[in-house]
Amino acid sequence: MTKSIYIVGTDTDIGKTLITASIIYLLRKKGYNTCYYKAALSGAEVQGENLIPGDTRFVCELSGIKGKYEDLTGYIYKTAVSPLLASKIENNPIDIEVIKEKYEKLKERYDYIICEGSGGIICPITTLKDRIYNLDDLIKDMNMDVILVASAELGTINHTVLTVEYLKNAGIDIKGIIINKYENTQLCNDNINMIKAMTGIDILGVMPVIQEKEDGFHEKLKQLSEEVFDERKIISCMK
């Protein structure tokens, strides 16, 4: 039976895609039949008549996943706003059943699926029965637990603790926290210690700052993935 986990962030642009790609690369290298899935992506790149979901492409390039981007991404939008707003702007409403159907098809081919969220946990996806349907609603409907990605930078204590409390109140189990954008400074080290103390949740890995435009970025990220993460711990988080 396929096991899965949702990667969510304390905010947008926190590094969910980088962390997700790193984990999938590591699992696949270690022999785990692993795939990526993103329910809705905004801010896709335009190439001719095609929309290219940048996050999906990045994960596939790093991890070696072969397949059509649209099979790994429920909905793809050009406009870089929430999926709900993008769907209105582009007149392409989101059907939750379509998201679930694509996910179920991946389960037929893969033993492990890492799902990446959009934005933060309170990210509007669609409207359902006259109410706003957010990312946390989707995670609960898909019966998943989460791994939370947080920054090591200034402000992270507030963002992380609030996100943890929201997830707990929503009835979503947090299997661990991954710290991104780490530098060996007093600020970053204290932030990590405070997050541990205030949340009581395991830190699954600490990813150093890495610049995407630097030479050898992909190879450096692959190396860091093997240094930062323990594939056994990641697998133990999945259900």
Binding residues for ATP: 13-18, 55, 116-119, 180-181, 208-210
Amino acid identity of 35?
C
Q: Please calculate the CA angle 177-179-35 and round it to the nearest 5 degrees.
A: 70
Cα radius of gyration rounded to whole Å, the chain: 17
Annotated binding residues for Mg(2+), written as ranges, equal 17, 55, 116
Annotated binding residues, written as ranges, equal 13-18, 42, 55, 116-119, 180-181, 208-210
Amino acid identity of 149?
V
Instruction: Please provide residue 77's backbone torsions phi and psi, each rounded to the nearest 5 degrees.
Output: -125, 145
Q: Which residues are catalytic?
A: 38
How many C-beta atoms surround the C-beta of residue 39 within 10 A?
Answer: 26
Q: At what angle do helices 186-199 and 156-169 cross, to 10 degrees?
A: 20
Token pair belonging to 48: 């001719």
User: Are the C-beta atoms of 148 and 119 separated by less than 8 Å?
Assistant: no
> What is the distance, to the nearest Å, from the Cα of residue 218 to the centroid of all Cα atoms in its chain?
18
**Which residues, including other chains, have CB under 8 Å from residue 65's CB and lie 6 or more apart?**
24, 28, 35, 36, 59, 72
